Amino acid sequence: MVIIEKAPAKINLGLDIVGKRPDGYHDLSMVMVSVDLNDYITVSEISGSDIIVESNNHKIPLNAKNDVFKAAQLIKNRYGIKSGVKIELEKTIPICAGLGGGSTDAAATIRALNKLWQLELSKEEMIEIGFQVGSDVPYCLGAGCACISGKGEIVECLNTSLSAWVVLVKPDFGVSTRTVFPEIDCETISRVDIDSLKEAVLANDYEQIIAHMGNSLEDITIKRKPFIQKIKDRMMKCGADAALMTGSGPTVFGLCRSEKKADRLVNSMRGFCKEVYKVRIL
């Protein structure tokens, strides 16, 4: 049997750092949406008991450092699976980009192995496994539009028909989330009104969504990589309705209500950065 799962990228319409927990993690409050830039996971049983990960992207590890491998290993250990599995990872989402590539791949792997091995896992069980891989995996298991809180494990789906074009601009460097969070100072970090953003999303109020978008991590990442601010400034100058860094960066997304405006923005940004994508909110 062969199972194929689509793994969509995500963007953060809002990301707020609520505070630091006694265990060293940070409490987060976020609004995320999926966009139609996708990786694909293909899983199939093989003889033996090994986990074999293959990919068209030669820059990513194919061993226990890979989130796809981690997810498969957790499931095998937890449920006593003896059979081997080959996982083919077709990458389109840029790596270390703030687009949730590793997390969405892990989530797709969990969904695929649940079907392949007929485990009939509940949503809660999959979230528990996913959270052990990464804090964005619980959201990526269901994707769509959602409000996320806690350390990332609390996911509230938002019923909205938000429609917009998204232009993604990824500069020629990556940012590791693990290097950004230690620099957070909860006393001075900029805050984002996630409650108001959530209300705007539920009301499908495009103007209010733009008014309340924000990312608490922008100041930290932009201080390290000032070119991100140049991307934001150019996007706004070239007609984006809004421009914001997603996740811990460095990708910046521009929102456009019309495809015509998005096309103009893409043409303007292609001479500025090599990696430019025009996508839609799913």
- Encoded amino acid at 175, one letter: V
Alpha-helix runs per DSSP H in 165-251: 177-180, 194-202, 206-212, 218-224, 227-237
144 is in an annotated binding site: no
- Residue 95 in marked binding region: yes
Q: Which of 39, 67, 105, 136 is catalytic?
A: 136
Residue 102 annotated as lining a ligand binding site: yes
Active site residue 65: no
145 is annotated as contributing to ligand binding? no
HSE, side-chain direction, 13 A CA sphere, residue 88? 11
101 is in an annotated binding site: yes
Count CB-CB contacts under 10 A for residue 40.
16
Give yes or no: 10 in active site. Answer: yes
- Give the number of other Cβ atoms within 10 Å of residue 50's Cβ: 10
64 marked ligand binding residue:
no
Residue in 10, 91, 225, 232 annotated catalytic: 10
Distance CA 126, CA 120 (A): 10
Rounded Cα gap, residues 70 and 75, in angstroms: 9
100 is in an annotated binding site: yes
| Of the candidates 66, 65, 89, 85, the residue with the CA atom closest to the CA atom of residue 75 | 85
Beta-ladder partners of 255: 166, 242
Q: Is 19 annotated as a binding residue?
A: no
State how far Cα 110 lies from the chain centre: 16
Tell whether 103 is in a known binding site. yes
87 assigned binding-site residue: no
150 labeled binding residue? no
Task: Return all residues near 82 (Cβ < 8 A) that are at least 6 apart.
Answer: 49
Residue stretches of the annotated binding site for ATP? 94-104
Residue stretches of the annotated binding site? 94-104
Positions marked catalytic: 10, 136
